[in-house]
Every structure is written in structure tokens, then in C-alpha cells.
Amino acid sequence: APGDVIIGGLFPIHESVNVTKRDDGTESISCDRFSTARLVQSLIMVHAVEEVNKNHELGNLTLGYSILDSCSDVTTALNNTLNSKQPSPPVLAVIGDYYSEISIAVTRQLNLEHIPQISYGATSGLLSDKVRFPSFMRTVPEDDHQAEAIIKILRKHQWNWVGVVTTDSDYGRYIADRLLQHATNNNICFAFTSVLPDVLSDKRLDEHIATTVKSITENTNVKVIVSFAKPYHMTKLFNCLLEDARGREKIWVASDIWSDSTDINLKQWNLSDIGTVFGTTLKSGNSTRFKQYLRNLDVNPDHQKNNTFLYNFLKEHQQDPRDTTTEVLMKKINPYAVLSIELAVRAIAKAVVDLCNNRDCKTSQRLEPGELRGALRNATFHMDGKNYMFDSRGDLNSGYDVILWRQTPTSVDVSYVVANYSIGTQDLTFISHALSSQGEVISRCSESCKPGYRKKSAQGQPVCCYECEPCPVNYYSNTIDSTECHLCNITTEYSSNGSDKCHLKETVFLKWTDPYNCALLAFTALGALLTIVVGIIFLAHWNTPVVRASVGPICILLLFSLFCTFVSVILFGGKPNTKQCQARQVLFGLSFTLCVSCIMVKSFKIILAFEFDPSVKRVLKKLYQPYIIIAVCMAGQVVICALWLSLESPRPDWAPVENKEERLHFCNEISYVKFGVMLGYIGILALICFGVAFKGRKLPQCYNDAKFITFSMLIYFICWIIFGPVYVTVKGTYLPAVEMVVILISAYGILFCQFITKCYIILFKQEANTESAFRESLRNYSLSEIKNGDGNWVSSPGTHGGIENIMCFHLLLVSEEHL
């Protein structure tokens, strides 16, 4: 059609070329496999141009067009472009071609004259390179976005083991490469990649189709196949594949090149044999106006001689009713083509308006292709209430629709939109639940690893082929197909082998209800009760010789310290807390220090009572200050405990135990050095007691405190010497019980050795617990000992009891004098 501004059109009206050899050896090339759908696409351009002219959008200018057939072949497209009769005025811009490999070749040729080219379907990312293809633009997004959209679909349905079918073309190689890149980043693997010859007349096509069928049927784990082949490729592939039952009922993810194609002829097969077909398609436009254009189309071939493609089509359908012819054309409408082609026409029209606003483009100041190319890059054009413009790479990122094929009584519906993909946000939004049932289809190399397991890649296999390895103890995974197991917080949590979560450890400590603790507390209560009973007995018989000879006030103080020692045992059981941890060792240390200090005072009393050297005795009398000695001994322990509490105070702590399901709650002494110093201080005092008492072990039988002190200190030393290594090596719930046992044995040793024999005399030998009994023994026995020159007593035969009675009475007097 003529016009002031001519737009070129390049459409693959035929799907392939047929090459035959002439008798003279030259080749004859003819286009074959006429595509009604591509004819309809060329009519979309015609309609869009007529709409612009009808609405006088260019003022006094009109658009014309010159449309050529590329025959889906690069060589034919270049020949037709070069050798076609140039219209007057010349072509300023070209719309087309649909295929990327053709557009790549043609845009290089057009760029020699700076003629801009706007494709409505060439989506290869190579064409976004403006250094190599400065004249190329398109009203569709590039294929990297489509690859991302397909990956979103696969991830949505958890399909990670898929097959890929593509073609040996710029489009096929590029989009397959981009899909592989995105698949690798999302742990999706290709079980096989079949590459078909792009040219349909290639003699190797049948061989490659057979190889592809074999790949599909032998990979039984592959239920999902992504295809970037052309419609004719898919026709041949389906008709061969469906012959084998293993190739049926697959899920096919179609790229935009065939997802909405109506040219696929399934012969005797139907959609249910194929399985499920859905795929990405370019954004759809409003086809209402174009459908009306087709309804009003003059179907008389003689009236369409300016359009040879339409003329041939109408000639073929000349005998059909008008409505039938129109219906055939309307069924071949691709909604995406309506948007993409109309946008291309609108972009050119807007660029012409922008350039010709203040100039006469009709006669004297005609447009140049280079001018139009620059104006197109900056143009903002409108359609259906929306604004559009090319980005810096000459692309128009309109997004994608996801369509699902549906079987109808007469044909297959390829226009049912189930989801949208936004390039800007990279979000896949489903607007229909029609694909929800496909989530039950499993297309994986390996079964999913359940929570509690992690994926372990098999040697030499793709990342999608793996083994499921259970998480080790104290590790977990809580997601399907986890690549790693996460460590539990082993301080408070645990997990068994193959766990999907961590469990809180049970807190263990020496509970009040524990049988061992109950037994120890029973002995503690008994010891405390015996201590009180002994105290009552002593107070009730306060003025008797036995109590007086035992230094009564010191004994009461000793009994009080023993009672506090028994009380300290209680603090070693139950749930630890800060105050309890600080109090238990301090209370024991102070109370037992008081206990040993009292015993030490009694030991010094023995030395004083039986020292007969006057000079030594005078010195001992001056030094023997019982309460001062006790106070000094206690002060030393108070200082040690105060430093311990202020510098490194004991506190509650946690520790793992052999049973991984538990954690020990215990009192941490923090500083074992200070703990040792406290015990060592008591040990030094006990050692002094032991040394003094050991010296007086052969004293008279009526006063045998020295022997009992020696024995009680021996018990103390044995217990605490054993306690040291046991306390350091033993860990667990019953560690406090070890110290409880040692304290109880020490306390019971002192209680029994110091008081039980005396209570026996007080209660059951009352006749021996009187002053007259002591005097009677003096009168009954004569003094048969003489004093030698060294001041030592020497006994004569037959007088073995006299000296003992004298010493006992002397001791009684000394005790009363000093206390």
C-alpha cells in the first residue's frame, strides 16, 4: 500500500523452503508450508497502519507498507529484502521478522542504511547488544526473562529433573544456555538436551527426532520436558513420540515460539495422549478491533491483488462461504501478536509525529532512516490507555502470560491464561488453580529428602541426583531437600540421629525426691536431732563432773557448730540457685572451722592439764585463752570465704552429661583454688588437733578425750583425702552427694567420738559421775608413785590405778579454774 512514509514488513508466511536442483546444476528455492497464522500476523500490521491513517494521527501524512515473506529462512529473507522492488518513497523502518536468527541477519543489512528494525517476536538476548545491533528494537522482552519465568514454574512445582528440546539456531542456543544458567542457580538439572536442526528441510531432522524420542522414553524419571522448538518440529516430535506408550502423558513446558501455536497437527492423537501442555507466551493484546476488521474483510480474491499472500489464501478458499473463510483466519489470531505488532506500528507513527511536528515531511524535508531510528529510541507511544517506550537496549519489557492448553470438542484451546509473570518484580502470579493438580507429578532424579535428612551428592552425578543422609546426633534439618544439617544449641538442646528438630534437654540435678538425697537428708536430720539431744543432756547435767571435765561451754559451742554443719548438708540438694551455691560451702566451711577450733581448744587443755613442769605450765596458762583462739581461727576462715565470694563467687551453671538428652544444673565453685584453700585451712587446724591429741593418747582411762579426738580426726582425714580425687573426677547428678556423704561422716565421727561415751556415763553410769566417786577412788588407792629427778612419775607394782585417779581429779580442777 502506498503512503508518504513506507514501513517494511517481514513475516515468515511460509514455514520452510524447498531446495531442488535444476538440470544445469543450479538450485531452485521455493517457499513451502504456508502458515495461515503468519498471514494473519501480516494482516495485523495492515490493520494497524489503516487505523493510523483512518484516525489522521499523522496529520497530512499517511503510512504505507511493503510486506515481504522471509519463508522462515535466513538466506531467503536476505534475498527478498535485497532484490525486492523498492517502493517510492523508500522504506524508512521495518517490522519483523518473528525469528531471531533471521532478525540478526536482516538488521545487519538494514543497519548499512541506518534503517531501524522493530521485531514483534525475535527474543534472543544477542539482539540487546546495541554495539553490534544499533538499529534493532523489539516490542517483546528478551529470552533471559523467559528463561527465568520457566524456572519459576519448575520451582513452583518442585520439578528439578527435566529434559530440554531446542533447535540449532541463535534463538534456540541462547535461550537454552540462559535456562541452564538459571537452572544451575536453582538446583535444577537437565536429564538430557536434544538439539534439532533449525531448518525444517534438513535431511538430518528425522534422525534427530528419533534420538529425541529415545531420550524421552528411556529417561523414565523425566516427567517434564521444556521445549524451544518450532511448531513444525513439535508436530513431527509428537507424532513420533506418541507411538511409544512411554512417551505419553508427559508435562510439556512450551516457550513462546510454539506455546500458542495452532499449527501443530496431532493427526490421530489428542491432547490427553500428550499429557499437559502449558508455557509462556508474550503479553496479549485486545483483539476485538482486529476481529472486526477480519469480519469486514473483502474475501473476493480479485480485490486483494496488492496482497499476494492474502490473494493466494482467498483463492484457495474461494468456494467456501464467507463466514467460513473469516472463521479460519480468526482462529489463527495470536493474542500476543496483536499487541506486539500494533505497538511496533504505534511506535513508528509516534516517532514520525515527533519529527514532523515542525517540518514538511511530505515534500521538501523528507525523513531519513537515521532520524527515525533516533526518534524511535526516545518515543513514548500509547495504546489502550497505557504508555510504552523502549529501554536502553531497545527492548520493551511487557512481561509474560502462562497459558494452559485445553481440549475442546473440535480443537485445542491455546489461549487459557493461568498465570502472569512480571519482569520488573520477577514474580509469578497464578490466577487459576488449573495447574494445581500438576503439583502431584514428580519429575526428580532422586526422591525428596525428608526433614531430618540432608542431600549428599552422589559421586560423578549432577547435583539433582543425590542420596539422603540422616543428620547426626545434635544436628537437625527441618525442610525438605535440605542441603545441610543445622547444629542444635547443645547447651540446652539435643537431637537424635535423623531428627527434624531439636528437643529441649531435661534439666537434671539432685532432686529433693531422689532416693539417695532422701537417704542423706534422713541421716542429716538424725545427726541434727542427736546433736540437739546431746546438748539437752549436757545442759541438764551441767554441774556433773563429766560435763565439767569436758569443758561444758566449749562443748555447747562444739555442738552448735556440728548442728550448723548438719544444716549445711541440706543446701547441697535441690535445684541450684545463686544464694544456695554461695551459702552451702561458706556455711560448711565456717561451721566446721568452728567445730575443729573447739576441738583444738580441748586438745590444748589436755596439754595444760598434764604438764607438770611449772615454767612451761605458766607459759601455757598465759597462752590458753579458749575464746580468743576460737575467734582467731574463725577470722582466718571468714577472710578466705569473703575473698572467695567477692572475687570468684560460686554460681549456678550448666554442663552436658553422658546422656545427651539431659543437661546438668549444678553449683559451679568457679575457683577450685579458693575452694581448696578453704578446705586446706580446716585441714591445718585438724592436723594441729590430731598432733596434740596423739601426744596425749596414753592418758588415764578416766579421761580418754585424746584418744577420741585422735580417732575423729583420723576419720576426717581419711574422708577428705578420698574426697579430693573423687570430687575432681566424678561428674554428674550425684556429685553433690559425694560431699554430703563426706560431711556427714566427718560430723558423725566427731559427734560419736566426743559425746556418745560421755552421754552413756551421764545416763547409765550415774554413780561414776559424782565428786564423791572421784574422792572415794583417792581414798581407796594410796599414792604409790614417786617422782624421779626428771620430774616423771614412776609407778610401783600393784599401784597401777592410783596415778590415773589423781590425774583425773587434777584435770577436773584445771577445767574449772580456766573456764
Structure confidence at residue 605 (pLDDT): 75
Q: Compute CA distances 557 → 168, 338, 571, 627, 687, whole Å.
A: 105, 109, 22, 10, 20
Element (H, E) at 431: none
Can you tell me the mean pLDDT for 603-621?
Answer: 67
Q: Is the pLDDT of residue 612 over 90?
A: no
How would residue 774 be classed by pLDDT, with cut points 50, 70 and 90? low
Residue 196 pLDDT exceeds 90: yes
pLDDT at 464: 83
Least confident of 390-394, 569-573, 756-760, 763-767: 763-767
d(CA 111, CA 145) in angstroms, rounded, equals: 26
How many residues make up the chain in this entry? 819
For the segment 640-653, what is each residue's pLDDT rounded down to a tens digit? 999 999 998 999 98
pLDDT band (50, 70, 90) for residue 775: low
Residues contacting residue 281 through CB under 8 Å, at least 6 positions apart: 256, 259, 260, 335, 336, 400, 401, 402, 403
Confidence of residue 439 (pLDDT cuts 50, 70, 90): low
Distances (CA, A) of 5 to 49, 431, 606, 628: 11, 42, 134, 124
pLDDT at 819: 41
Residue 772 in this model has a pLDDT that exceeds 80: no
* Residue 782: per-residue pLDDT: 34
pLDDT at 477 over 90: yes
Alpha helices in 541-577 (DSSP H): 545-549, 552-570
Give me the half-sphere count of Cα atoms (radius 13 Å) on the Cβ side of residue 487: 3
Q: What is the mean pLDDT of residues 715-734?
A: 85
CA 378 to chain centre: 47
CB 307, CB 283: distance < 8 Å: no
Work out the pLDDT band at 10, boundaries 50, 70, 90: very high
What pLDDT, on a 0 to 100 scale, did the predictor assign at position 813?
Answer: 44
pLDDT of residue 173: 92
Query: What average pLDDT is seen over the chain?
Result: 85
Q: How confident is the model at residue 799 (pLDDT cuts 50, 70, 90)?
A: very low
338 vs 286: CA distance, rounded Å:
7
- Inter-axis angle of helices 771-780 and 802-818, to 10 degrees? 150
CA 357 and chain centroid, separation: 61
The Cα 285–Cα 21 span in angstroms is 44
550-581 core/surface letters (b: 16 or more CB in 10 A; e: else): bbbebbbbbbbbbbbbbbbbbbbbeebeeebb
What's the confidence (pLDDT) of residue 59? 86
Q: Is it the case that residue 344 has pLDDT exceeding 60?
A: yes
Share of the chain above pLDDT 90, in %: 47
Within a 10 A sphere around the Cβ of 803, how many other Cβ atoms? 17
Whether residue 299 contacts residue 247, with contact meaning beta carbons closer than 8 Å, is answered with: no
What pLDDT sits at residue 699?
Answer: 53
Supply the pLDDT for residue 211.
94
Residue carrying the nine cell digits 473483502: 298
50-89: b (≥16 Cβ within 10 Å) or e: bbbbeeeebeebbbbbbbbbbbbbbebbbebbeeeeeeee
The three-class DSSP label of residue 701 is coil
Secondary structure of 134-181 as H, E, C letters: CCEEECCCCHHHHHHHHHHHHHHCCCCEEEEEEECCHHHHHHHHHHHH
Domains of the chain (ranges; CATH) run 5-141+287-397 (3.40.50.2300), 143-284+401-430 (3.40.50.2300), 448-504 (2.10.50), 515-784 (1.20.1070.10)
Strand order in the sheet with 224-227: 189-196, 161-167, 224-227, 250-254, 275-282, 400-407, 412-422, 427-430
Question: Is 0.75 topped by the overall pTM?
Answer: no
Residues 6+ apart with CB under 8 A from 774: 545, 805, 808, 809, 812
Q: How far is CA 718 from the centre of its chain?
A: 55
Which 3 state secondary structure label does DSSP give 393?
coil
Decide if 253 contacts 226 (C-beta within 8 A): yes
Residue 698's pLDDT is 55
